[in-house]
Amino acid sequence: MAYSEKLIDHFEHPRNVGALDKNDPSVGTGLVGAPACGDVMKLQIHVGPDGVIKDAKFKTFGCGSAIASSSLVTEWVKGKSLDEAASIRNTQIAQHLALPPVKIHCSVLAEDAIKAAVADYRSKQNQEKSAAE
Amino acid sequence: MDEVRQYESAAAARAVVACWSCRGPIGPSALFCATCRAVQPPGALDHFARLGFPPAFAVDEAEIDRHYFAAQRLLHPDRFATRTARERAISQSQAVSLNEAYETLKDPLMRANYLLKLKGIDVNPDGCNTIRDPTLLMEQMEQREALQAAETAEDVARLARGAKDQLEACLKRVAAAFVADDLAVAESETTRLKYLVKLVEEARLRRAKLIRVND
């Protein structure tokens, strides 16, 4: 079975690999795992004061489809609002990369990672707010 | 008292089935009919019962081998060369069921997953669940990063040893949790076990790669 060109491109040239400062209040970090494969995925977003995602980074230890899924998500979320980013569905990722059925769970992992990153950013902001009050 | 006796005799009746060949009574895990010696199809048994073990995490691996190889000898295709096609087919399906039971029980991770499933916990529903346990994931992320950054075979060997030690310790916690019937801990430690098995494997691959490059 052949993998799609888009998938291979993201796997061979992953976008936005790296890390942001997880202690920065304007950074949200999502750390998720797929115990079935022993995969672990970290996805981070840097959010501007206007609530728009300025930058995104990821680090994934897992199969090619997991790396491609997280790479794609970091590209997609830049310039998006938090609500837009959190509404990304795994089916969109799977469709874009033409993931084979056995690799659908990799796109689920990427969807969960961006949701976790947004949730982390929001809980940090709430803490800041309650600390300021 | 009568109720107890009735229940017990009903349970015994369920456990005993009729031989497909002579209709004689046979136990659920019997390979052969005691009356006519015909090979019996694999009954609906869990993997532990099939190899003659109670459903527990602690197993004597030598005993598993002994049960399994004894049964496989009796089911060897050569012994069925002159038997009917039906008996050959039945002996084959017995052999397949025994292989499955053996592979599951011999591997500690598969055994733990299977035992959790028997107890009603599916660690991996649809192969698709994700976890957010930050302690476990952070610890695994850091170790995988360290492995990726390791430049020499010695560094990798040190990380591999560390991973193996953690795996041994984790196995002990899994065993203790099953003994205490603490299923929440058994489940979380089994998930950690999966990650540690993966870490040990990744360390092995990384080491093999470094050795190849330096040769």
User: How far A20 CA sits from the closest chain B CA (Å)?
Assistant: 15
Task: Tell how strand A53-61 and strand A39-47 pair up.
Answer: antiparallel
Q: Could you tell me the residue range of the domain that residue A9 belongs to?
A: 5-120
pLDDT number for residue B125: 64
A63 is catalytic: no
Tell me the chain A residues in contact with residue B141 when contact means C-beta distances shorter than 8 Å. Answer: 31, 40, 42, 59, 61
Closest chain A C-alpha to B5 CA, distance in angstroms: 46
pLDDT (tens digit per residue) in B167-185:
999 999 999 999 999 999 9
pLDDT digits over A97-127, tens only? 999 988 998 999 999 999 999 999 999 999 8
CA dist B215 → B73, B90, B130, B195, B209 (Å): 44, 52, 40, 30, 10
Classify residue A52: in a domain, yes or no: yes
Residue of B129, B145, B148 with shortest CB distance to A35: B129
Average pLDDT, chain B: 89
User: Does A47 fall in a domain?
Assistant: yes
- Chain B hits for A38, CB-CB cut-off 8 Å, are 194-195, 197-199
Q: Where are the alpha helices (DSSP H) in chain A?
A: 5-12, 64-77, 82-86, 90-97, 104-132
CA distances (Å), B161 to each of A2, B128, B171, in order?
Answer: 37, 31, 15
A132: in domain: no
Lowest mean pLDDT among A112-116, B34-38, B91-95, B104-108: B34-38
At B5 the pLDDT is 52
Here the ipTM equals 0.87
Give contacts of B140 with chain A, Cβ < 8 Å.
33, 40, 61
**pLDDT value of residue A85:** 97
Q: Give domain status of residue A127, yes or no.
A: no
Residue A61 placed within a domain: yes
Whether A37 is catalytic is yes
Cα angle value B192/B148/A75 (rounded, 5°): 90
- The whole-number pLDDT of residue B179 equals 97
Q: Is residue A129 part of a domain?
A: no
| Residue B43, pLDDT above cutoff 90 | no
pLDDT band at B8 (very low <50, low <70, confident <90, very high): very low
Mean pLDDT across chain A: 94
What's the domain count of chain A?
1
Query: Is the pLDDT score of B121 beyond 80?
Result: yes
**Per-residue confidence (pLDDT) for residue B1, from 0 to 100:** 42
- Highest mean pLDDT pick, B152-156, B170-174, B207-211: B170-174
Between A9 and B28, name the one with better pLDDT: A9
- Checking A120-128 for CB contacts under 8 A at 24+ apart, the result is A120/A28, A120/A29, A120/A30, A121/A26, A121/A27, A121/A28, A121/A45, A121/A47, A121/A82, A122/A28, A122/A82, A124/A25, A124/A28, A125/A25, A128/A25
* Residue A133 is assigned to a structural domain of this protein: no
Q: Which helix (H) or strand (E) holds A47?
A: strand A39-47
Q: The CATH number of the domain where A38 resides is what?
A: 3.90.1010.10
For the segment A14-43, what is each residue's pLDDT rounded down to a tens digit?
999 999 999 999 999 999 999 888 899 999
* Alpha-carbon Rg for chain B in angstroms: 23
- Name the more confident of B14 and A83: A83
Question: Is residue B12 predicted with pLDDT exceeding 60?
Answer: no
User: Positive or negative CA dihedral for B23, B25, B28, B32?
Assistant: negative
Does residue B11 surpass a pLDDT of 50? no
The A-side interface with B (CB below 8 A) comprises 31-38, 40, 42, 59, 61, 104-105, 108-109, 112, 116
Task: Determine the pLDDT at residue B187.
Answer: 95
Q: Which of A38, A108, A112 lies closest to B195 in CB terms?
A: A38
Is residue A83 scored above 70 in pLDDT?
yes
Per-residue pLDDT, averaged over B52-79, amounts to 93
pTM of the model: 0.86
CA distance to partner chain B, nearest, from residue A132 (Å): 27
Among candidate residues A37, A40, A104, A108, the one labeled active-site is A37
